[in-house]
Chains A and B, each alone.
Chain A
Amino acid sequence: MEESRPVLMEVTRLWKTYGAGDARVHALRDVSLAIRGGEFVAVMGPSGSGKSTLMNILGCLDRPTRGSHRLLGAEVSELSASRLAEVRNRTIGFVFQAYNLLPRTSALANVQLPLLYAGAPRRELRRRAAAALARVGLQARAQHLPSELSGGQQQRVAIARAIVNRPRVILADEPTGNLDTRTSIEILKLFQELGAAGITIVYVTHEPDVARYASRIVVVRDGEIAEDRPQAPAVARPSLEPAS
């Protein structure tokens, strides 16, 4: 069934090299990977393995040194900075380990940010941002500043920001890295719900416990893909009270 879905993003013979001459380091060596629409993928690997570099290139935040990167069937590695910005804005939602919310800015305004650059009409901004906040269970916190929110709540604001422009894929780099176990499970449950709603999700983690919830595991080691296998995902069940 998975094989029947169209390929959403694909990298082929991808290299990423830092430095020059003797100091040259290959972060990625000849990596090829295809992710289909609706997949829920965990990218694992020790630190320095190149998993984050792979994610950044998949998310058009960085450019490959060599190789092809296709998104929705189109080659994107040669696009201009402006075109890449449009691609990120329309197709990809990002979730970072450190949340990366604008400080001293309300949750609602943070969530509106991608819509500003999408050129959404002003009335839409508020409505869609409020809907996204409601989707992550934070409608009551719309006017709170990041400093007034817990880590889990901040990460949920970041997820609302990632989904507000209805992207095809969410890319998350260690999304639970700064959170305790219970809060991590809440975030993963949210990802599973979003995945069930049809959004493709790729997340990086180095914790097997966190990777359990994905339906496919990709292990990166020394800049190469060491393992790529499907798995039966664990069901995220937040232990006690519902998220608020």
Chain B
Amino acid sequence: MSLWRTLRVALAALARNMTRSLLTVLGVIIGVAAVIAMVSIGEGAKARVAATFASMGTNMLTISSGSSQSGGARGGAGSQPTLTWDDLAALRVEVPGVVGASPQLRTNGQLVSETGNWQTSVNGVSTEWFAIRSWTIAQGRTFTESDDAAGRTVVVLGRTVIDNLFGAGVDAVGRTLRINSIPFRVVGVLESKGSSAFGTDNDDTAVIPATTFVRRITGGLQKYVAGSIVVQTADGATTRVKDGIAALLRRRHRLRDDADDDFSVRDLSEIAEAQAASAETITSLLAGVALVSLLVGGIGIMNIMLVSVTERTREIGLRMAVGAKPWHILSQFLVEAMVLSLAGGLLGVAAGIGAARYMAASFGFPLLVRPDIVVLAVAVSAVVGVVFGLYPAQKASRLAPITALRWE
């Protein structure tokens, strides 16, 4: 019997048992779609957590000065300035794995334009700061190293500041404003970052060169960095760089071995790692849920295949009585199971990706479909369908035809 004829016989048998065929296909669809959708959502959630942390600057260390101590009362971190501009210059060149370092000086300032005024945080930083904190420029440019070296009065503004000083949607590049009565020229606008994890507005900020900040805004403290230092580290080098900086600073500050650090080095990667680990847990959890749904789907397929066995055993008996060889029976049932699995598998992949796309859109996740999971889901369903479609047929084809014909 030709392959073509086997296919026709199998398709005719499927059409004859349309309800059973559709239920089987439905079982495969649900099994496959559930797995694909579940794992995609997990991957999307993980990716969004990773993106959130990348926007906060994952490979970032923050170095703060030590605390002051007077009469037993200790001030907060940074209350006693210990970090010097020379420390900053030294760690840039002496600690391997440091990609960039920037002072981070901060004060509140009153900004005044022709059309409005607004109080915001004014940050004095080096040009490297933008990369360290993962800020990108929406319009204009960042200030340059020569702006910083020369202490030019240029400013890069966050979106919220623009909106309040110049009006929403206004192109402020090239405009002039005053910070504490000193005129500054707007050279760039930061890409909006929205709200931070703590609910503060990331876009409510003004950024000027550190040199300008020291000379024009706050004054004084020539030797010390009146704020913190942020350091960008090479990928995976965060811990090593952290230790290197601590050793360097202890040496430069001439601390004795039994003395406490007069500075602190903190990293975000600890949080980032914890978040990545929890995202991994979410993915495992979802994969577990998906495997259960695959199992349930598989059992559904198995049941529907096995339940029809009585009717099908008589059909097999009749086919054998009129001349079907055991091989004919097996190939017919194999083709039937393959057609059902294939149809269910393809529809399941489509439904799974569709569901993942819908949920990704409604949760604001990126759509991430893992091809290996798609293959796994389809393969498991196909194997279950073929095994439990073929097994009863194989058993029936070994019976004497009269036994199969009289099966009850």
Please give the residue numbers on chain A whose beta carbons come within 8 Å of chain B beta carbons, in ascending order: 56, 59, 61-63, 81-82, 85-86, 88-90, 94, 96, 100, 102-105, 109, 113-114, 116-119, 161, 165
- Tell me if B400 and A100 are in contact (CB < 8 A): no
- Tell me if A102 and B5 are in contact (CB < 8 A): no
- Residue from the list B314, B325, B398 in contact with A85, Cβ < 8 A: B325
- Residue from the list B315, B318, B327 in contact with A82, Cβ < 8 A: B327
Closest to A114 in B: B322
B51 contacts A by Cβ under 8 Å:
no
- Tell me if B16 and A88 are in contact (CB < 8 A): no
- Tell me if B325 and A82 are in contact (CB < 8 A): yes
Please give the residue numbers on chain B whose beta carbons come within 8 Å of chain A beta carbons, in ascending order: 1, 5, 9, 12, 16-17, 314-315, 318-328, 398, 400-403, 405
A56 proximity list for chain B (CB < 8 A): 402
A109 to B1, CA, bound (A): 17
Task: With A61-B402, A88-B322 given, name 6 new contacts (CB 8 A).
Answer: A61-B321, A61-B400, A85-B325, A86-B325, A102-B16, A105-B12
| With known contacts A96-B405, A104-B16, A81–B321 Cβ distance under 8 A | no
A117 to B316, CA, bound (A): 13
A100 proximity list for chain B (CB < 8 A): 314, 318, 321, 405
Could you write out 22 A-B pairs with CB less than 8 Å apart?
A62-B401, A63-B400, A85-B323, A85-B324, A85-B326, A86-B325, A88-B321, A89-B322, A94-B322, A96-B405, A100-B321, A102-B16, A102-B315, A102-B318, A105-B12, A105-B16, A109-B12, A113-B318, A117-B325, A117-B328, A119-B1, A161-B322
A104 proximity list for chain B (CB < 8 A): 16-17
A113 to B317, CA, bound (A): 13
- Tell me if A114 and B400 are in contact (CB < 8 A): no
- Tell me if B16 and A116 are in contact (CB < 8 A): no
- Tell me if B321 and A94 are in contact (CB < 8 A): yes
- Tell me if B323 and A86 are in contact (CB < 8 A): yes
A86 to B95, CA, bound (A): 86
- Residue from the list A63, A103, A105, A117 in contact with B323, Cβ < 8 A: A117
A82 proximity list for chain B (CB < 8 A): 325-327
A117 proximity list for chain B (CB < 8 A): 1, 319, 322-325, 328
A176 to chain B, nearest CB (A): 19
